[in-house]
């Protein structure tokens, strides 16, 4: 076990090029591309970010991810569950209760997404200024 942890730590700390990895999102047929699409799609990243805070029921998650339809959230959660990022726990109660939570892999991915989210949120002043400059020189479309 200790050697596995050390090996993992070494692999994770070793800079890797695209050629070193067994999968490549840049290859059309690579299954990692689909997972990346699920994670970075319109609702996937928001669902993962919301679930990072803890287990949520479907409607709690829907309220947290403002603007997502019931159908789209359901499809998003199914894709994330299939990819091993989300765990769905159905309780045999009346009415039925379904909770969603991140798996260990989902937590790792969500942590990285949240870093990106925080970066974007923290730099929105710069983004809005850039949009203003762009629109001023090219005209708003």
CATH code for the domain of 123:
1.10.10.10
- How many distinct structural domains can be found in the chain? 1
For helices 44-51 and 70-82, give the axis angle rounded to 10 degrees.
80
Q: Does 13 fall in a domain?
A: no
pLDDT tens for the chain, residues 1 to 141:
445 444 444 444 555 555 566 888 899 899 999 999 999 999 999 999 999 999 999 999 999 999 999 999 999 999 999 999 999 999 889 988 999 999 999 999 999 999 999 999 999 999 999 999 999 999 766
Q: Does 113 fall in a domain?
A: yes
Q: Does 39 fall in a domain?
A: yes
Domain range for 50: 27-138
- Which is nearest to 21 in space by CA: 3, 5, 33, 38? 33
Is the distance from CB of 39 to CB of 85 less than 8 angstroms?
Answer: yes
Q: What is the CA radius of gyration of the chain?
A: 19
pTM over 0.85: no
Q: Does 4 fall in a domain?
A: no
Q: Does 83 fall in a domain?
A: yes
Q: Does 7 fall in a domain?
A: no
């Amino acid at each position: 076990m200790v050697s596995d942890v050390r090996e993992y730590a070494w692999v994770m700390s070793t800079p890797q090029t695209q050629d070193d990895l067994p999968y490549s999102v840049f290859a059309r047929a690579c299954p990692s591309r689909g997972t990346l699409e699920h994670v970075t799609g319109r609702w996937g990243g928001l669902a993962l970010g919301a679930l990072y805070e803890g287990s949520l029921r479907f409607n709690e998650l829907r309220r947290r991810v403002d603007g997502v339809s019931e159908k789209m959230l359901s499809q998003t959660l199914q894709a994330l569950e299939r990819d091993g990022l989300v765990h769905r726990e159905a309780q045999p109660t009346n009415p039925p209760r379904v909770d969603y939570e991140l798996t260990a892999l989902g937590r790792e991915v969500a942590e990285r997404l949240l870093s990106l989210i925080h970066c974007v949120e923290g730099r929105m002043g710069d983004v809005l200024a850039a949009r203003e400059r762009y629109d001023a020189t090219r005209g708003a479309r």
